Amino acid sequence: MSVIEVKTTPYNDQKPGTSGLRKKTKVFMEGNYLPNFIQSIFDSLPADELKGSTILVSGDGRFYNKDAIRIICEIAAGNGVGTVWTGKDGLCSTPAASAIIREREKGIAYGGIILTASHNPGGPENDFGVKYNTSNGGPALEALTGKVFEKSKGITRYLKVDLPPFDLHAIGTYDLVPGKFKVEVIDPTEDYVALLKTIFDFPKLQTFVKRPDFSMVYDGMHGVAGPYGKRIFCEELGLPSSCLTNCDPKEDFGGGHPDPNLVYAHDLVEVMKVLKPDSIIESTPEFGAAGDGDCDRNMILGKGFFVTPSDSVAVIASLASASIPYFKSGLKGVSRSMPTSGALDRVAEKMGLAMYETPTGWKFFGNLMDAGRLSICGEESFGTGSDHIREKDGIWAVLAWLSILAFKNQNTAKFLSVEHIVREHWSTYGRNYYSRYDYEGCESGPAEKMMANLRELASKIQAGGIDQSSISPELATYPIVRADDFEYKDPVDGSVSSKQGIRYIFSDGSRIVWRLSGTGSVGATIRVYLEKYESDKEKMDQRTEDALQLLSLLAAKISNLEALTGRTKPDVIT
């Protein structure tokens, strides 16, 4: 096997963000951009461990996925990797990738390279992404991604082997360098489905979905969710194929944002009559769900009803042990990212469970799971999951909700809806009114300035050195009682992650949080998170925008966002 050393020069911007390295596809296709980053990953791993190892290389099917897989296979061979697994057609969802790394051939995989920019649009003009996951199936932690960035800044060569062609469309083993390097094209649903069957009661779900008063629709948003939806909801549970929409993967996601929220999953939102509950008709499904480009996100809808992701994880946690076999002996603990609402905290409190507040990004849950401290966790950004893998899991969330519906409807004559279950939850635990405003594609300078100002103001407030009514008169009677920049100390390995979001907390526990996104490919996206807790049973029916009106006003005044960025309203509200 002849390893070729190709000379290269560094790029200075290969710093992984919240979830891997994301850039415009064209950037990845230019020069040695992709080879440099892949080589930097291998240069950050011990050569003796890589030698003869097995890794997974697969993606969400977006434009450039297949070319990138071939390039990465050649570099993997050049760096001593023995076997690359890849999904048929180069496809594999992010949660299935985690399951394959952990489970396939008793977990022999050393790690995986996942090609996705997740919910970001795809195509030659849009985004591509690369993420490295370690042998526990989870995204590499900051210590490793930091090392990859350092290596990328000093890179001078990459190693490759010229490989003969192989067919990504046919399952099978391709012995490309006999005895040294092979590619195995695998069914990307097999190990994942086998794992899900150990978690959920599939026979029970099969019976439940056949109820004449139940119907559902799943929107794959033209991402990799499609093949999984087909396999699990149709082939395994027996639902008709008419329950699937947008379930054929496309390289450009049909031109849309493969992001399951009320704005981008508009087809599904329309079918479910979420924004127009008055126009619900006989055929409106009881249950609707959508997945993002790489199928780690989920949106859960009832008939005419939106379940916020923060509520979803709280409802799942509260009912998991009763309705999902995997959790029947109880939960080890729960966790949420800092900007996610405190709905989960209320459940943890009542159930006597440990609750961990982590920075944004799934990688922070992994250590807690590996240490046996965490069973169920979620993020406000439509991410929900458990310790069965080390990624959020879009299909798992749907099966969790189906299990809850099946449990709640065990002996019912009249169907108890998703809305009924959420309202029941609110009446037990109170309601966390919640909203996130996204200002996309802002200029970086002003966005950084706004964050710096907020940080400075926070320390003044904390020191008590400011008359708050000078910021806004409402603050005289409704003061900010705490303001800081969130810092997380991992309770397992002691590592510290600072500057993870600025939070202003009010006298009634309401919060405003500001963060800059770490998943965009150009400029800055500002995220503003608003949350207000309501325990008064009479006040559970407000419109979210009404309940959050004052906080929204205060967010504008405190941050000065409009004057600094020129934005008058958010691009997306979720």
Catalytic residues: 118
Q: Which residue is at the shortest CB distance from ligand VG1?
A: 118
Quick one: which of 21, 35, 33 has its CA closest to 161? 35
Are 380 and 339 in contact, with CB atoms under 8 Å apart?
yes
Taking CB under 5 A as the criterion, the residue among 39, 58, 118, 215 binding Co ion is 118
Burial of 109-118, coded b for 16+ CB within 10 Å and e otherwise, reads bbbbbbbbbb
Q: Which does 393 bind (CB under 5 to 8 A by kind): Co ion, ligand VG1, none?
A: none
Candidate segments 178-186, 195-203, 291-299, 312-320, binder of Co ion by CB under 5 A:
291-299
Pairing of strands 83-87, 54-59: parallel
| Residue 261 binds to Co ion (criterion: CB under 5 A) | no
Q: Which helix (DSSP H) or strand (DSSP E) does residue 173 occupy? A: strand 172-177
Name which of 200 and 253 has its Cβ closer to Co ion.
Answer: 253
Q: How far is the CB of 259 from Co ion (least distance, A)?
A: 8
Residue 191 binding: pick among Co ion, ligand VG1, none (C-beta 5-8 Å cut-off by kind): none
CB-CB contact of 545 with 533 (8 Å): no
Tell me, letter by letter, the H, E, C secondary structure of 42-106. Answer: HHCCCHHHHCCCEEEEEECCCCCHHHHHHHHHHHHHHCCCCEEEEEHHHECCHHHHHHHHHHHHH
By CB under 5 A, residue 387 contacts Co ion: no
Structure tokens at 186: 């695998």
What's the min distance (Å) between Cβ of 10 and ligand VG1? Answer: 25
CB closer to ligand VG1 out of 102 and 363: 363
292 binds Co ion (CB under 5 A): yes
| CB-nearer residue toward Co ion: 252 or 448 | 252
* Region class of 515: left (phi > 0), else alpha (psi between -120 and 50), else beta: beta
Q: Which stretch binds Co ion (CB under 5 A): 80-88, 113-121, 323-331, 405-413?
A: 113-121
Instruction: By CB under 6 A, name the binding residues for ligand VG1.
Output: 18-19, 118-119, 292, 296-297, 337, 360-362, 379, 381, 383, 517-519, 527
Q: What contacts 441, CB < 8 A, 6 or more positions away?
A: 520, 522, 523, 524, 525, 571
Q: Which does 249 bind (CB under 5 to 8 A by kind): ligand VG1, Co ion, none?
A: none
Q: Which is nearer to ligand VG1, 82 or 227 (CB)?
A: 227
Q: At which residue do the structure tokens 């139940």 appear?
A: 214
If phi > 0 it is left, if psi is from -120 to 50 it is alpha, else beta; for residue 31 that is left
Q: Which does 60 bind (CB under 5 to 8 A by kind): Co ion, ligand VG1, none?
A: none
Minimal distance, residue 383 CB to ligand VG1, in Å? 6
- Dmax (CA) of the chain: 75
Binding status of residue 259 toward Co ion by CB under 5 A: no
Residues 459 and 455: their CA atoms lie apart, in Å, by: 6
The yes or no reply on residue 127 touching Co ion (CB under 5 A) is no
Minimum CB–partner distance for residue 129 and Co ion (Å): 10
Q: How far is the CB of 397 from Co ion (least distance, A)?
A: 12
| Residue 296 binds to Co ion (criterion: CB under 5 A) | yes
Of 66 and 297, which CB lies nearer to Co ion in the complex structure? 297
Please give the residue ranges that form the binding site for Co ion (CB under 5 A).
118, 292, 294, 296-297
